[in-house]
Amino acid sequence: MTETNLPKHVAIIMDGNGRWAKKNALSVMLGHRKGVETLREIIRYSSNISIKVLSLYAFSTENWSRPKAEVNALMKLIVEYFTSEIDELDQNHVKIRILGDVDGLPPSAAEACRNAVNRTEHNKGLQLNIALNYGARDEILRGVNSLMMERCSGSKPFKEIVWEDFSNQLYTKGQPDVDLLIRTSGEQRLSNFLLCQCAYAEMVFPEVLWPEFTVDEYRKALQQYAGRERRFGGRTS
Ligand code: FPP
């Protein structure tokens, strides 16, 4: 499969599971379950066309405020996902990284994440970032505090902080910035997702809800991206 002018890093805000469930008179959890089916297809396709990095927003630092039953069920779904999918992901050389505070997850979810990361750590295929208990402001604060501690403790020379120092503190350390950000369901917001990494991201907002986001829709978003002129603040003529 070949696509032209592919983004290196695609980030997706998988929005609309709840609305899809409501539209189909189903429980919100069945919406999330259907969302996992979409996620599986999008990961497979990204891997097949050799996207380098795919970042998926699965659970934000703000999502803890949802009803307890939904939060608990989402955590269970994450454990189930890693248990059932890890063989296929590993066989396809997918390398998993968690963006976010894994220690703040319930122990079973944290363990499932760590196992998935460890098992795939030497893989060289698609870099799959799953954002869990993630918030960009939290990520920024952690970076700032860590740099401050390094400098104040004397473990690093007390000198001006440059962008490279800071970007090395981000969960996406060593990875390219986001080229294409997709948010489904017609909402047009970043919602605290990868604020630093999206500085020059092209954005596409398909109207469809996440459980209805097919590979065809994904290809349309990739084609839109391929047609964009990126100037990064400069001039092309
Ligand atoms: C947004 O839809 C979706 C989420 C907050 C959760 C996304 C999670 C999954 C797709 C499944 C779990 C992930 C993994 C990695 C197994 P919403 O519920 O905010 O939808 P709404 O805006 O229509 O209510």
- pLDDT of residue 111 exceeding 90, the answer is yes
* pLDDT (mean) for 116-134: 98
- pLDDT of residue 2 exceeding 70, the answer is no
Active-site residue, 90 included: no
CATH class of the domain at 3-226: alpha beta
CA 16–ligand 1 middle distance (angstroms): 7
Residue 130 vs residue 2, higher pLDDT: 130
Nearest CA to ligand 1 atom 4: 58
Contact 22, 195 (CB under 8 A): no
Closest C-alpha to 123, from 84, 82, 86, 176: 86
pLDDT bracket for residue 1 (50, 70, 90): low
Tokens of 214: 């097919």
User: In the chain, where do the E strands start and end?
Assistant: 9-13, 53-60, 95-99, 127-134, 180-183, 202-204
* pLDDT (mean) for 62-91: 97
For ligand 1, say whether the CB of 17 is within 6 Å of any of its atoms.
Answer: yes
> How far apart (Å, rounded) are the C-alpha atoms in residues 86 and 94?
9
* pLDDT (mean) for 38-60: 98
Instruction: Express each pLDDT in 127-171 by its tens digit.
Output: 999 999 999 999 999 999 999 999 898 888 878 899 999 999 999
Q: What angle do CA 9, 80, 20 make, to 5 degrees?
A: 70
* pLDDT (mean) for 92-108: 98
CA 203–ligand 1 middle distance (angstroms): 19
- What angle separates helix 215-226 from helix 28-48, to the nearest 10 degrees? 50
What is the radius of gyration, based on Cα positions, of the chain? 18
Active-site residue, 63 included: yes
Contact 17, 28 (CB under 8 A): yes
State the CB neighbour count (10 A cutoff) for residue 64: 11
Residue 158 vs residue 90, higher pLDDT: 90
Ligand 1 closest atom vs CA 19: 23
For ligand 1, say whether the CB of 15 is within 6 Å of any of its atoms.
Answer: yes
For ligand 1, say whether the CB of 202 is within 6 Å of any of its atoms.
Answer: no
- pLDDT of residue 9 exceeding 70, the answer is yes
Instruction: Express each pLDDT in 172-192 by its tens digit.
Output: 999 999 999 999 999 999 999
> How far apart (Å, rounded) are the C-alpha atoms in residues 33 and 10?
22
